[in-house]
Each structure stands twice: as structure tokens, then as C-alpha cells.
Chain A
Amino acid sequence: MITGVLIVGFGASIGSLIRFGVTNLLKAMFSKLAFPVATFFINITGSFLLGLINARLPHNTFTLAFFIAILGGYTTFSTYMNETVQLGTKKKLMAYSYYVLSAVVGIIAAWIGFII
């Protein structure tokens, strides 16, 4: 139990730092776009990779648990929701697109990762 909790914590530390780096990089690259490209990219790639490692790596191993933990910290649900709210005050249509596309593409990405 305690080991499991610590793995998730440590993975979240690494994953969050990767997210911070990727967010800064993508925000600089797409600074002119109002669409939250960074979080969208992070959540879709994270979902795909989680599907992939669950299909490929042997279950109940430390390696799988650790990679799941990193992806849990790498992706974010809270920022996704808050960006939707913020975007909704200025660009309603874009906010709805971001909201629906993230969920639909994210789930499809996890599924593709799992079946390929």
C-alpha cells in the first residue's frame, strides 16, 4: 500500500515536470494561438501512451506501475477544465471544441494505443 502510494507520488513529480517543460515549449511555439495546444497535446499523447503500455508491458510489475504514475502526473484534468472555462468567457465556440475534442480524441487515442 505505502509503496504503491509512493510510486504514484514520485511518478507524479517526474510527470509534472515533463508537463511543465512541454507546456512552456509549446506555448512559446504557438504563442499566437488561443487554442490550448499544449494541454491538448499533453493529454492526447499521455492517453495514447497509457493505452500502449497497458497493452504491452507485463501486468503487476514495478515498471508498469511507474510508467502509469508518470503519465498520471504528466496529464492533467484540472487544467483542461479551467482552460475550458477561461476560453468560454472569450471564445465560446473554441471552448466547446476544446472541451469535446479533448475528451473524444483522448479516449480514441487511449483505445488506439491499447489495440495497436
Chain B
Amino acid sequence: MKKTIIFLLMIIISAGLSVANARVRVTTTTTDLASLVEIIGGDLVDVTSLSRPLQDAHYLDATPGMVVRISRSDMFVENGFELEMGWIPEVLRETRNRRVRRGGVGHVDASSGIQAIQVPERIHRDMGDVHPSGNPHYTLEPVTSQQAARNIANGLIRVDGDNAEIYRRNLEQYIEDSNRIVSKWQEKFEPWKGAGIIIYHKHFDYMLLKLGLNIVDAIEPLPGLAPSAGHVAGLISGYNPETVRFVMMEPWHDQRVGKQVANGIGVPLVVGCPTVGSCDGADCILSLFETNAQKLFDALTK
């Protein structure tokens, strides 16, 4: 009996402590969004990403662990633009927490209000794995991500209105920092404005376009398709170091193909950091941009 009472007291005390130290529990689909939440929420949030840094968020399995994690969250942030359409609908359907489902007070679609690039005029599967709402990889470019940060701040204010001022202040700081950093790199890339680039997948496009670079072709013949030998040969024969300055790709694709194209043309291959946490130094959304920009800068100035 005595042990039972002590046990119950411990539970009550630990519950009280957890309330006293309550932080807003946030789950995001990607590490990029987790970084944005950390920037806006600071010490007031406890954030977890469902995908890991080197996982391609297009292709994940919906797992029971994801369901529990979202069910226990105060807020859930998804990238939107159909990036997670292969697995998030299942996770949201299974979640026991109505507040974080679409339409709930704790649900944030970070893409809401973002002017997407590459929005297709028509949608057909023969165009490859295109996203009807446009390119979903906006988090690679901090200025475009300002709207995502606003959406996250609004979400945090909805679930934790007492700290609204802090969230607003952190948002303003992020906007200021991102404008400054992107402007700095735009100036550095000014001499290479319009330089041609071949990409593998349309992952870095927001950043490349912001820096004034010109995406001339892609190793994927269509989004989501494996390159054929003929397509690779066509890239090698169709471009030269005058028209293409480097080839850029994500680490999760076959780097042998990227090297083949880059070597064939005679330009460097840049393997970018696709997400926060995927490279040394890319530990937040701003440093992710800077890390990738530095890689490109090094390739151009070689």
C-alpha cells in the first residue's frame, strides 16, 4: 500500500513538472521545416522531424511511429505542394489528434501563400512525376521560405497565444537575417548571372534561380524518371563548358550518372546538401543555403 501511494505521488509530481516545463510539441515532415520552427519558436518549442536529413521526403513509408508522434503533438507542419502526398494522408488519417489534422487549429501547411515556381499549365502523368501546385522545394531558398515562417508563426500563435510576441519577434528577425544573407550571396554571384547549370532533379531550383543562375537541362528526362543512356549521351554531346558551368545533384541519386555527365561535358559536379542536417555546417535553414551557395561559388571560381 505504501509503495502504491509513493508510486502515485511520483506520477502526480512528474505530471506537475511536465506541465510546469510545458513546451509546444511540434512535429514536421522535414528537417528544413523543423529548423524554421526552431527559429520561430526558440526555447518555447520541442520539435521533431518525421523524415531524416538524407531521406527524400517524396518517398517514405507511413509508419506507426509517425502516427503516434503526430498524435502527441500540439502542432504539425507539412511542406505542402504535394511533397508528402505519398505518405502523409495515411498518417493524418490514422492520427488520434484532431487538432493537427487538416483544418485543425494545430495544422500548418507551410506552403500556404507561397508563389510556387514551375506550376504546370496542364497535369498529365506523361509529364513525369510533376507536382500540380508547383515545385515543392522552396525551403532551399530562405527568402521564399519567409512565407513558410509566417505560416509557422501563425500556427504557434494559435496554439500558444501567450507567447505570440516572442514568435512575432523571432519571425521579424528571421526575415531580416534571410534578406541579408540572400542579398549577400546574390551580390557574390552577380558576375555569373545567367551561367548555365545542369541539375539532376528539380530540388535546388528556388536557390539557383534566386542566385541568377540558368538551369539549362536536367539529368532526369522527366521528373522522377531514371535517365536513359541515350538521354545521358544527349546531355554530354549537347553541352560544353561554355554553355554549362557545372552539374548539380542530390546525394540520394546515383552519383555515377552525375559524374558521367559532368566529366563528359568537362565541368565540375556539385553534390548539394538537400536538407538541413544532411551536410556538415548545414544545421539550420540559413546555413543550409549558405553551405550550398558556397559549394556553387567554389565550383564557379575553380
A and B bind: no
